[in-house]
Amino acid sequence: MLRVESESPDVPVDLTAVDPGSTPGLPGRKVTGSDPKLWARGEVERIGAELATQQEMLFARGTIEPELGRSVLLVLQAMDCGGKDGAVKRVAGAMNPLGLHIRAFGPPTEEERRHDFLWRIRKSLPPVGYVGVFNRSHYEDVLVVRVNGLAPESVWRPRYKKINDFERKLVDSGTAVVKVMLHISRDEQRERLVRRLDDPTKQWKFNPDDLDSRASWDDYQAAYAEALARCADAAPWYVLPADRKWYRDWALSHLLRETFADLKLTYPKPDYDVAAQRRRLEADG
Ligand code: AMP
Ligand code: MG
């Protein structure tokens, strides 16, 4: 439904076909009642409890059988104000912080710039048994880098293939990778930027550079459209309409639940004799 099905890597994904204000897959009023927002918030909590259980099983398996190594990696990309932070708080926040591996990527440091663009990404991957969340990612290296001309095309264009190869290895080594673009409209971004400026408790989130990115809106959309089409080899992309925060959280919760379901997790069997251990404890008085 929200999964990007691109005809060919050479045909950019048509992002205009996804209305950022829409709510695909949301059940009708018969199910949600008269207030879909309230319903969705309740569902996010309910699904959140399921995610927490799944994460615990992933963590338990990673602890007991690290050689079977499974992890989950959620890659979040969005324009500024797209809701990445909110999604992390509401959806990842349902899980146990102990088993989360959350990383945010800003402009590379001097040290990072001395290495290949994937260097800092590899160092940030979730260990076995963990749920990783990338708040921005290696995709910035074909997005902001391309739009702002931070590197010539001869540098960023070969990165699509490098990203595909990297993600293929990651998936083959047991990491379930889900890539999500939180898709907001230009109007919604404007409203959220205004709200940031109006609210002294949100002003810290505003960065004057955001207005420069906003001025390059169409270039960003084109860069996203191409990245999503070119980098769908190993791990799927999802475009989530994100103008409505409650829908965004609901859809993302669903997506994570599906990702976990594919892993068919169960709690590991202990490698010790439970009865024998119980007898030892009883003998202990
Ligand atoms: P935020 O996610 O709002 O904290 O902003 C992080 C900023 O870092 C954004 O403006 C990104 O475009 C920027 N950024 C992230 N990765 C890179 C990169 N590889 N090169 C340049 N800028 C980046
Ligand atoms: Mg920002």
Q: pLDDT tens for residues 185-232?
A: 999 999 999 999 999 999 999 999 999 999 999 999 999 999 999 999
Residue 6: what pLDDT? 78
What pLDDT, on a 0 to 100 scale, did the predictor assign at position 7?
A: 79
Beta-carbon neighbour count of residue 46 at 10 Å? 11
Average pLDDT over residues 105-114: 98
67 DSSP assignment: G
In angstroms, rounded to a whole number, what is the distance separating the alpha carbons of residues 90 and 105?
A: 20
β-bridge partners, 176: 72
Q: What is the mean predicted confidence (pLDDT) over 229-256?
A: 97
Three-state DSSP at 136 gives coil
Of all protein residues, the one whose alpha carbon is nearest to atom 10 of ligand 1 is 106
Helix (H) or strand (E) holding 10, with range, is none
Query: How far is Cα 175 from Cα 126, in angstroms, rounded to an integer?
Result: 9
Ligand 2 ion local residues (Cβ < 5 A)? 80
**Residue partners of 138: CB distance under 8 A and separation at least 6:** 117, 118, 121, 159, 163, 166
pLDDT of residue 1: 55
The mean per-residue pLDDT over the stretch 35-50 comes to: 97
Pick from 171, 168, 192: nearest CA to 248: 192
Question: How many other C-beta atoms are found inside a 10 Å radius of the C-beta of residue 32?
Answer: 17
Question: Which residue has a Cα nearest atom 12 of ligand 1?
Answer: 144
Mean pLDDT of 102-130: 98
Q: Is the confidence at residue 5, as pLDDT, over 90?
A: no
**How far is the centre of ligand 1, averaged over its atoms, from the C-alpha of 105 (Å)?**
6
The reported pLDDT for the residue numbered 187 is: 98
Higher pLDDT, 110 or 271: 110
Q: What is the mean pLDDT of residues 278-285?
A: 90
* Beta carbon of 81 within 6 Å of any ligand 1 atom: no
Give the separation between CA 210 and CA 223, rounded to whole angstroms.
17
Share of the chain above pLDDT 70, in %: 100
Mean pLDDT, all residues of the chain: 96
Cα–Cα distances (Å) from 56 to 97, 99, 276, in that order, read 11, 8, 26
The rounded distance, in Å, linking the Cα atoms of 41 and 61 is 30
DSSP 3-state of 274: helix
**39 pLDDT tier (thresholds 50, 70, 90):** very high
Structure-block tokens of residue 270: 């202990």
Q: Which of 117, 123, 136 to mutate to test the pocket of ligand 1 (most atoms within 8 A of CB)?
A: 136
The rounded distance, in Å, linking the Cα atoms of 138 and 81 is 19
119 residue type, one letter: W
pLDDT tens per residue, range 129-187: 999 999 999 999 999 999 999 999 999 999 999 999 999 999 999 999 999 999 999 99
Q: What percent of the chain has pLDDT over 90?
A: 94
